[in-house]
Amino acid sequence: MSLRSPLGKVLGSGSAKDGTGHWWAQRVTAVALLVLGAWFLLALSPLTVLDHAAVQRWIGQPWNSVLLLLLGLVLSYHSSLGLQVVIEDYVHGPFMKVVSLILNKFFHAAIAMAGVFAVLKIAFGAG
C-alpha cells in the first residue's frame, strides 16, 4: 500500500521531457530541407545536359559541394528522426524497439557517411 496520492503517482511518470527537442529538430530540419531543396533545383536548372561529366563539374564547384554535403547530412538526420517516431509508435516489443532504434541510427549514419565520401571524392577530383 502506497501513501502517495494519485497526483503524486502520475507526476513521477509520463513524458520523458524529451519530446519538445525532437519536435523542434524535425521542424528545423524540414525548413532547412525546403531551403536546400529549392537551392538544389535552382542550381541544377542552368545545366542543359545532366550527364555524368557535367554533374561532376557542378559538384566540383566549392559552394555546390558544401551545400550538397549539407543537404545530404540534413536529409539523413531528418529521415532518422522521422523513422525513430515510427519505430517508437509501432514497434511494441521492448527488445525489438531497442534493436530497431539502434539499427535506424547506424543505417542513417552509414548513408550520411557514404554521401559525404561520394561528394568529397568528386569535389577533390578523385571521382
Say whether pLDDT at 9 is over 80: no
Which residue is it, cell 528522426? 81
Query: In sequence order, which residues have a C-beta less than 8 Å from that of residue 53 and are 6 or more positions away?
Result: none
Percentage of residues in the chain having pLDDT higher than 90: 77
Grid coordinates representing 21?
527537442
Which residue is it, cell 557535367? 54
Domains, the chain, with CATH or none: 20-123 (1.20.1300.10)
* pTM, to two decimals: 0.82
